[in-house]
């Protein structure tokens, strides 16, 4: 099953909004064929692995990290359960069931009805984390949101002069490009674009380009910004923008999305709803501090990636990793569960999942906005 998970990861960025799936065919304790879901619309991992195994699949075992799919209206590929039954597989080992309401246990039931032994729950937690984006997306139809920050040991993302290049080292920056490949969209605020002029593309690793999203509530970012080049698609979410600026951006191929205004900029919940309607399954929020606060204070972040550099900037006017007004009391703060620490080059990557109480928004009232983006 660990081999299955490793195979599945090779599809990162290419299968969305489909899940990451690997498959291994084993006979007499020996792997005879393996495969992974390589791209959206392409053959599923189980079908590919069984094709490669050929007649040897008769009486073999199939290991897969996600419950094999069944036939349902609108499905683009043949059901994997039918292929497994035809191949003569005697036992299927499944890490987790598919939360897709169109599947949700039907795959396991079909295999059992055909006389195939099914074992469930092997490396289930690892399998759920591998497909956490898909699990969230398929059950809510809204994007899975992750917050990525590169910060110093004293919690700064830029100096008092606004300089942030480079807080973290080359290995951490390469990891960020891997994350951009994994997520369907990358999002920043207007301040980040004005200060750093990022391109927000995947460059240091191979992979598809994410949709670039700029939160620009007042239309302050100039059309000459690098994020508006044609290296990838770009969307600007705004509440107010001069008609001539909008016209220029549209001429450059940039989409301008007008959303209801909030005190801090635009309605983030409405933005995520629109993205969900368009099939965007995930968003990587890369900054800055005010945007981070807006997402966190509204309980919209599902995962964090904090890259800590062994660096101290100091200064009362240095830019904090998370801005805004902040919580009045530590008891209101956001706890992070399942925290893991990994060394990436000379930096540390902390990964975890925010825990929300559901009461924070009402206690903050309308004063959670902080500085406009």
Choose the catalytic residue: 12, 34, 38, 46.
46
Q: Is 300 helix (H, G, I), strand (E, B) or coil?
A: coil
Q: CA dihedral in degrees (70, 73, 76, 78; nearest 10)?
A: 40
Which spans in the chain are helix H? 2-9, 45-53, 80-87, 106-113, 124-130, 132-140, 170-182, 190-196, 243-251, 268-277, 289-297, 360-364
- Can the peptide bond before residue 288 be classed as cis, meaning omega within 30 degrees of 0? yes
Model pLDDT, residue 75? 60
Q: Are 307 and 166 contacting, i.e. CB atoms less than 8 angstroms apart?
A: no
The DSSP code sequence of 121-181 is -TTHHHHHHHTHHHHHHHHHSS-EEEEEEEEETTSEEE-TT---TTSS-HHHHHHHHHHHH
Tokens of 17: 């909004």
Model pLDDT, residue 73? 59
User: In 94-130, which positions are buried (b, 16+ CB within 10 angstroms) versus exposed (e)?
Assistant: bbbbbbbeebbebbbebbeeeebebeeebbeeebbeb
Active-site annotation holds for 277: no
- Check residue 19 and report its DSSP letter: P
Given 3-state DSSP classes, what are the helix, strand and coil percentages for the chain, each rounded to the nearest 5?
Answer: 30, 25, 45
Give the whole-angstrom CA distance, residue 31 versus residue 59: 13
Model pLDDT, residue 373? 47
pLDDT by residue for the chain (373 residues), tens digit each? 999 999 999 999 999 999 999 999 999 999 999 999 999 989 999 999 999 999 999 999 999 999 999 876 556 678 899 999 999 999 999 999 999 988 889 999 999 999 999 999 999 999 999 999 999 999 999 999 999 999 999 999 888 888 788 889 999 999 999 999 999 999 999 999 998 899 999 998 988 999 999 999 889 999 999 999 999 999 999 998 999 999 999 999 999 999 988 776 789 999 999 999 999 999 999 988 899 999 999 999 999 999 999 999 888 888 888 988 888 888 889 999 999 999 999 999 999 999 997 654 433 333 333 334 4
- Residue 309 CB coordination number (10 Å): 20
Model pLDDT, residue 264? 65
Q: CA dihedral in degrees (350, 356, 360, 361; nearest 10)?
A: 100
- Can the peptide bond before residue 13 be classed as cis, meaning omega within 30 degrees of 0? no
The DSSP code sequence of 301-327 is --EEEEEEES-----TTSEESS-SS--
Q: Are 201 and 180 contacting, i.e. CB atoms less than 8 angstroms apart?
A: yes
pTM, entire model: 0.89
Model pLDDT, residue 189? 92
- Check residue 212 and report its DSSP letter: E
Is residue 86 packed enough to be buried (19+ CB in 10 Å), middle (13-18) or exposed (0-12)? Answer: exposed
């Amino acid at each position: 099953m660990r081999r299955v998970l490793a195979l599945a990861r090779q599809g990162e960025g290419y299968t969305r909004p489909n899940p990451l799936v690997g498959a291994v065919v084993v006979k007499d304790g020996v792997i005879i064929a393996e495969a992974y879901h390589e791209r959206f619309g392409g053959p599923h991992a189980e079908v590919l692995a069984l094709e490669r195994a050929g007649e040897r699949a008769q009486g073999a075992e199939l290991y897969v990290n996600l419950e094999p799919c069944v036939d349902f209206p609108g499905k683009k590929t043949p059901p994997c359960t039918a292929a497994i039954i035809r191949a003569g597989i005697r036992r299927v080992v499944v890490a987790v069931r598919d939360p897709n309401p169109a599947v949700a246990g039907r795959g396991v039931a079909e295999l059992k009805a055909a006389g195939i032994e099914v074992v469930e729950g092997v490396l289930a937690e690892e399998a759920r984390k591998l497909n956490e984006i898909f699990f969230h997306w398929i059950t809510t139809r809204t994007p899975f949101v992750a917050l990525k920050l590169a910060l110093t040991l004293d919690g700064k993302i830029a100096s008092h002069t606004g300089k942030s290049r480079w807080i973290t080292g080359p290995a951490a920056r390469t990891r960020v490009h891997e994350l951009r490949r994994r997520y369907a969209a990358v999002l920043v605020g207007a301040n980040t674009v004005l200060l750093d002029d990022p391109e927000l593309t995947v460059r240091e690793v191979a992979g598809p380009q994410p949709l670039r999203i700029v939160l620009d509530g007042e239309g302050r970012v100039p059309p000459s910004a690098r994020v508006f080049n044609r290296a990838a698609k770009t969307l600007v979410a705004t509440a107010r923008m001069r008609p001539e600026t909008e016209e220029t951006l549209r001429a450059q191929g940039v989409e301008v999305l007008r959303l209801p205004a909030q005190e801090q900029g635009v309605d983030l919940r409405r933005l995520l709803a629109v993205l969900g309607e368009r099939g965007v399954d995930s968003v990587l929020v890369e900054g800055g501090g005010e945007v981070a606060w807006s997402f966190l204070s509204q309980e919209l972040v599902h995962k964090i990636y904090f890259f800590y550099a062994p660096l101290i900037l100091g200064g009362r006017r240095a830019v904090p990793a998370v801005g805004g007004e902040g919580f009045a009391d530590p008891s209101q703060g956001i706890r992070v569960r399942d925290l893991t620490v990994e060394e990436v080059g000379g930096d540390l990557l902390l990964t975890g999942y925010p825990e929300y109480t559901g009461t924070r928004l009402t206690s903050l009232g309308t004063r959670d906005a902080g500085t406009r983006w």
